[in-house]
Structure 1
């Protein structure tokens, strides 16, 4: 009985997130990005009103992997020795393991389950890796589980729901994950997961006419106007002389 996982933990592993909700197919923002821990199902923001008295856990997504906030997950289970990451100034933890094939292991710290390079003193790269390690070694999760009677959605999630469609995104260009390998060179070929925010380049439009010292002088004839325009025009593209 000790090796059995709680139902909400199995739901995090098995439920599909960031897919369209079948109950709100025609509604906007109908992606399932919430896990109801009491019903053990994935729901969309439109379904959350029917589960308002349940424990709700927001699931975020980065580079095709589901993550949850460390602050919320620690209320449910002990997350010590799990490598945290940073997205939008908030620490998150990956739900499922992310196996990484390595032909040769260099010196350093690696995950106990998937051999991913980690920062010391962490030994698990995800919640799934820690759960598998505990089940294999101790065969009991009860000492790691915590009592949590209520869990509400974070205020930033509610604020995003109130914004327009253009402002509501599950993964913004400013979302970054600060990994241990970022900015360092490793003999084992560390993965850099940083995302660089691309700032659009604003080009100033040049005016078609230039005063050229004549702004204070009134142009009185068509000939003067033609002369002023010809002076102020940009230099054209040079043409190669014909070859004979």
Structure 2
């Protein structure tokens, strides 16, 4: 009972409804509109909140705190730039997808051929994957970097189990809430190759480098450096 009270004080009341909400269905109020997919969530409507579309935001949630959900490989993600304003996301693995840093809302199925632990919220993480030295403490999913959790859902399970982390954002924490990422971690990410992902149904790359410092494109294969203006040798006297 005491652990539940501690967890409740470390988790905003809108987080669990967010993680259990289904997104990207057609909005029943605007089924024929061009932007009718329900990919938004209101943080101010509390436990009664549900997903809604672009047009519902203007009609029913004007002035509210609203975040937009996106998809990568058919799993729900949210941009770090949006979620870190309202949530302490330290310890959660982040990715750069389509030039935006994002994190996953919930645990994803482990790829075939890798180790896997128990389900989210289980008491044991299970055997780690042999493909990476870093794994999620809750579901044992392989991670790219030394983070504790693979998603917001797994961090929530970790808070309920151990109470040694928090989602509550305190004044001055904005700069420290970028997934617990250090400068060494960012440098290590830059050396990693891409992994195939999908963003809203369009193929993309889950790349390691920060979008603010994109790699310079290589020169064209047949490019030649332009020669300077030729100068005639002076006449002999």
Interval of TM-score (by shorter of Structure 1 and Structure 2): 0.5 to 0.7
- Is the aligned partner of 1:135 residue 2:164? no
Report the TM-score when normalising by structure 2: 0.59
1:178 maps to 207
Q: Following the alignment from structure 1 to structure 2, what is the Cα–Cα distance between the partners of residues 176 and 52?
A: 34
Contact 1:97 1:114 in 2 (8 A): yes
The alignment's C-alpha RMSD in Å is 2.5
- Is the aligned partner of 1:41 residue 2:64? no
Matched residues, number: 157
1:147 Cα offset (Å): 6.4
1:90 corresponds, among 80, 93, 100, to: 100
| Structure 2 counterpart SS, 1:176 | strand
Q: Following the alignment from structure 2 to structure 1, what is the Cα–Cα distance between the partners of residues 94 and 153?
A: 13
Gaps of 5+ in 2: 117-126, 172-198, 210-237
2:115 maps to 102
Contact 1:99 1:114 in 2 (8 A): no
1:63 maps to 73
Contact 1:2 1:140 in 2 (8 A): no
**Alpha carbons of 1:170 and 1:64: their partners in 2 closer, same or farther (altered >3 Å)?**
closer
Highest CA radius of gyration, 1 or 2? 1
Range that drifts further, 36-45 or 100-109: 100-109
Contact 2:6 2:163 in 1 (8 A): no
Q: Tell me which of the two structures has the higher relative contact order, counting C-alpha pairs closer than 8 angstroms and 6 or more residues apart.
A: 2
2:168 corresponds, among 124, 145, 158, to: 145
Runs of 4 or more, structure 1, over 6 Å off, are none
**1:11-48 Cα distance to aligned partner (Å, 9 max, x none):** 21121100011111222220001111112221101111
Gaps of 5+ in 1: 149-168, 181-244
1:17 maps to 23
